[in-house]
Chain A
Amino acid sequence: MELKTTGLTKRFGPKTAVNDLNITLSGGVYGLLGENGAGKTTLMRLLCNIQNPTSGKISLNGKNTADLGEKYRALLGYLPQNFGYYPDFTALDFLLYIAALKGLDGRNAMKRSEEMLDAVGLSGKGRHKIRTFSGGMKQRLGIAQAMLGDPRILILDEPTAGLDPTERVRFRNLISSFARDRIIILSTHIVSDLELIADEIIIMRAGQLVYFGKPAACSNTAQPYLEDLYLSYFKGDMEK
C-alpha cells in the first residue's frame, strides 16, 4: 500500500497552507511535526478528502483518492484535533453509530465497539453519556472511533492532547501493536511520543516539507528547524 501526494497545494486566499508537497508513505508510523500554522492539520484534512486541494493530487496505489471515494474511505480512520459528539449518546452508542457509518454489520459492530472501548480504557464507561466525560475520556473515545473497523490508513491529529502520562503510554502501546501493515500518520507536539513509536518523521514549516526521514537522522539535518519548533512549543506553553 502506497499513499502518495504529488504537488499537493492548498491555498486559503493569499495564504498557502500546504505548498507543493511531494511525499510517499508506505507501511509504518509517520510522525508529523511543525509549529502552529505549519499546515499539519490542513495536510491531514487533504489526506482525508474533507478538503479539496487547490492543485496536485493524492493517490493510493496509483489511483486518485478523490475518484476512489467510498473505497478509499473504507480504509480510513481519522481523529481530528477537535471533534464534535452527541452529548446524549452513550460512548457505546456513539461507537455503534460510527460503526454503522463505517459499514460494520450489527453483531460485529457491537463486538468491535466493546473491544475498542476496552483498548482505550473506557470499558466500564460504555453506558455513560458522553456529556459526563472529561476531556481526556472524550479524546480516548475519539481514538477508539478512529481505530474502529481496523482502518488501513489511520490519521491522528494531536491524539495525545489531554491524555495523562499513563494514558499516553497506553496509547503508544496501542499504536505500536496496531501499526503492522498500516499507514499511521500522527501529529503531536510531544516529541518523546514520536521518538518511541514513529518509524519516520515529517517536519513541515509554512506549508512546506522541511524534513522527511528517520528520527535518528532528524536532529542533524533539521536542527535549525527543530530549534525553532521547540521554541515555538515552549512559547505556546508559556502563553497558556
Chain B
Amino acid sequence: MRKLIRFELRKIFSRRMTQISLLLLLLLSALFTVSDYQNKYAFDGESREGNGKAAVEIDKRLAAEYEGILTDEKVRQMMSDFKPKADLHGMNAAYLYQNAIQSAVFARFSDLNGNWNGLGVSDVFGNEEIKIGYVDGWLSFSQNMVKIYTLLAFVIIIMTAPVFCGEYGGVDTLILTARYGKTKCPAAKAAAAVIASLTVTAAVTAVNYLAAFILYGSAGSDGSILFAPLIYTENYIPFNITCAGLLKYQILLAFTGTVSVTGITLVLSAACKNLPAALTASAAVYVLPAVLPVAETHPLFRYTGLLPLYHAQFVALMSVEQMGNGVLYAIWAVPAALIFWGVGWFASRRIFAGHQVS
C-alpha cells in the first residue's frame, strides 16, 4: 500500500499542470505580500512618516508606547495625541488614516471632527478586556492569505482532478485488471490525493508565514483584533480574540478547506470521464456558494458557511457565533471537512472500482 501511495504521489507531483499551478501560486503569494508591505503607510502625528518598512516601524513604536490593556485614560491620551491638526474639509474623522493606532482609536472613539465622542471602553467593548498591540501587519497578511488560500483551492482541484479520470485515457484497463486495481489502488489514490493536498497547504502556509515573520516580526500577536484600524473593524469578526488566535483559526480553516475540496474533487474525478469535465465540475462546486442566495446573516448560512469556499473566505464563517466555551462556530468546519473527505474516500473508490472500460 505504501508503495502504491508513493507511486500515486509521484504521478500527482510530476504532472506539468500541478507544477505550473504551484509555481504561479508561490509567485502570486510573493507579489501579494511584497506589494502589501510596500503599500503600508504611517505618520506618527508629529514628524515621521514613511512607507513599507518605515511605516511598520512607526506603527510598532506607537503600539509599544500604548501597550497593555485599553483603558479610558489611554483612549483620551490617544485622541489627544492624534487630534487632526488640519481642516478635514467635511470628511468623517473616523475614516482618517495616519497610522494603525490612530485609525483604531478614531474608528471607535472619534466624532465627525476628530474629537473624543465621549464613549468609554466599556461602552464600546462591554466587559471585554482589549489588549493593545501591533496587529495591523498580521491582519493585512491574514487578508492576503484569504486570496492565497482561495487560489490554493484551485491548485488542489488541478492536482486532484486527474487522480482517477486521468487514468480513463487507457491505463484504467491495466489498473482494473491487476490484482489490487479495484481495492488497494483506488484507496492509495484517495490517500495520496489528501496527502498531496495537505503537504501543499502546509508548504504554502509555511512559506508565507516565514515571509510575514521576516517582514512584521512577532510583535502584536497577543493584541486584540477588535482594536485595529478601521478596515479590520467594519464588517469584520466581532469577537475579542487575539491576532494569534485569529491566525490559528485561519490556518485550521485552510486545512479543513483543503481536505473538503480534495474530497469533493475525488468524487468528481472518479465520476467524470475526462479531465476537463472533472476540472470544470470541481471548480463549479467550489464557487457555488458564492452564487447561492444565502446572505451571511441568513440562518441557513450556518450550513452553507461550512462549504469549502467559506473556509478560505474565513471572516464570514468566523463571524457566525462565539459558542459558550469561547470557541468560534467556525470549529464546525472540522467535522464538515471530515464528512466531505469521508464521502470522497468511499464514493471515489467505489465509482472507480465499478468503472466500465469503453
From B170, B179, B355, give the contact of A80 (CB < 8 A).
B170
From A51, A70, A106, give the contact of B356 (CB < 8 A).
A51
Q: Judging by beta carbons under 8 Å apart, are B174 and A52 in contact?
A: no
Contacts of B172 in A (CB 8 A): 50, 84
Contacts of B321 in A (CB 8 A): none
Q: Judging by beta carbons under 8 Å apart, are A103 and B180 in contact?
A: yes
Pick the interface stretch among B64-72, B181-189, B200-208, B335-343. Answer: B181-189
Contacts of B14 in A (CB 8 A): 86, 88
Nearest B residue to A73 via CB reads B179
From A52, A76, A82, give the contact of B177 (CB < 8 A).
A76
A97 within 8 Å of B (CB atoms): yes
Nearest B residue to A146 via CB reads B174
Q: Judging by beta carbons under 8 Å apart, are A84 and B179 in contact?
A: no
From B3, B7, B181, give the contact of A73 (CB < 8 A).
B181
Main secondary structure of the interface of A (DSSP, over half): loop
Smallest distance from the beta carbon of B343 to chain A beta carbons, Å? 24
Within 8 A of B (CB), among A41-70: 45, 48-52, 69-70
Q: Judging by beta carbons under 8 Å apart, are B180 and A101 in contact?
A: yes
From B3, B4, B171, B173, give the contact of A50 (CB < 8 A).
B173
Within 8 A of B (CB), among A87-105: 88, 97-98, 100-103
Number of B residues near A (Cβ < 8 Å) is 26
From B4, B179, B356, give the contact of A74 (CB < 8 A).
B179
Number of A residues near B (Cβ < 8 Å) is 29
Smallest distance from the beta carbon of A64 to chain B beta carbons, Å? 16
Contacts A45-B357, A50-B173 hold; do A86 and B178 have CB atoms under 8 A apart? no
Contacts of B169 in A (CB 8 A): 84
Contacts of A88 in B (CB 8 A): 14
Chain A 171-191: CB-based contact to B (< 8 A → 1; otherwise 0): 000000000000000000000
From B167, B171, B178, B357, give the contact of A102 (CB < 8 A).
B178
Q: Judging by beta carbons under 8 Å apart, are B174 and A83 in contact?
A: yes
Residues of B within 8 A of A (CB): 3-4, 7, 11, 14, 167, 169-183, 185, 355-358
Residues of A within 8 A of B (CB): 45, 48-52, 69-70, 73-74, 76-78, 80, 82-86, 88, 97-98, 100-103, 106, 145, 149
